[in-house]
Amino acid sequence: MTTGAAPATAAAAVERPTGSAPGPRRRLGVLVPSSNSNAESSILRMLAGEADVAAHFSRFRLPPDLGDRIDAGVLGDAPAMLADVEPDAIAFHGTSGSWTGFAGERELCAQLEVVVGAPATTATLAVRAALDALGLRRVGLVFPGPRPIAEQIAVQYAADGVAMPVISAPEVELANAEIARVGEDWIDALLRPAFQGDVDGVVCIGTNLRSAYRVSAFEAEFGVPVIDSATATLWQLLRLAGAARPIAGWGALLQA
């Protein structure tokens, strides 16, 4: 019988990994309100042709009152669970800061950055950054929630240097799940009045409203940019993650 060195085990044959893994190189973390059914689907649609970017999601439950500010206590374990995938950037995919105030949104981002260890944004701050990027200072507002909340949004933006002379909000109050189910005709009817008057763009605030799918058509019709809050969230995430690039088919903001 011949003898020799013992064969190497499988574990010994595999060295500690180095280099880039196949598949997406950039990871985006997204915190989604539990009643939002648009966030994942719209982001995945927008990223369908971007093989080097992946989006990862974690859910939390919104407080019952629209006037409640979102902070780390509301988000619970959702940010920490996203931190486990080591995202390059993270976003709170909600717009409540549009009416509760930009300062609270910046505080939330600071809290998220501590927990996750990556740059953070919110849908509200992403919209505000998009307005600056496109040089828009007088915009029509589209909001699928109650008109009194829409008026609070206009006050917050006016204090931050952006006028909203036209507000389009529905006559009936819809629950968040209902907003996600409205049809294309309903969305179009909500968007159209926001282009009236002397505006240099339109903002759609409400990440569960599927207005992103109608942005290109309305931009072509009226000749001004349309900023959708769900689209703006992805746009800002890509910038923070060092993965900014033009993505066609979703309007001027993502195309730039």
pLDDT tier at 229 (50, 70, 90 boundaries)? Answer: very high
What is the average pLDDT across 196-204? 95
pLDDT of residue 66: 63
Q: How far apart are CA 186 and CA 211, in angstroms?
A: 10
pLDDT tens for each residue of 123-139: 999 999 999 999 999 99
pLDDT of residue 7: 52
pLDDT tens for each residue of 90-102: 999 999 999 999 9
Q: How far apart are CA 249 and CA 12, in angstroms?
A: 49
The share of the chain scoring above pLDDT 70, in percent, equals 92
Q: Residue 208 region, left (φ>0) first, then alpha (ψ -120 to 50), else beta?
A: alpha
- Where are the chain's structural domains? 26-255
Mean pLDDT over each residue of the chain, to the nearest integer:
92
pLDDT tens for each residue of 181-192: 999 999 999 999
Asked if residues 255 and 246 have their Cβ atoms less than 8 Å apart, the reply is yes
What is the average pLDDT across 107-134? 97
pLDDT tier at 74 (50, 70, 90 boundaries)? Answer: confident
Class of domain 26-255: alpha beta
User: Is residue 161 pLDDT above 80, yes or no?
Assistant: yes
Q: How far apart are CA 179 and CA 38, in angstroms?
A: 10
User: Is residue 235 pLDDT above 80, yes or no?
Assistant: yes
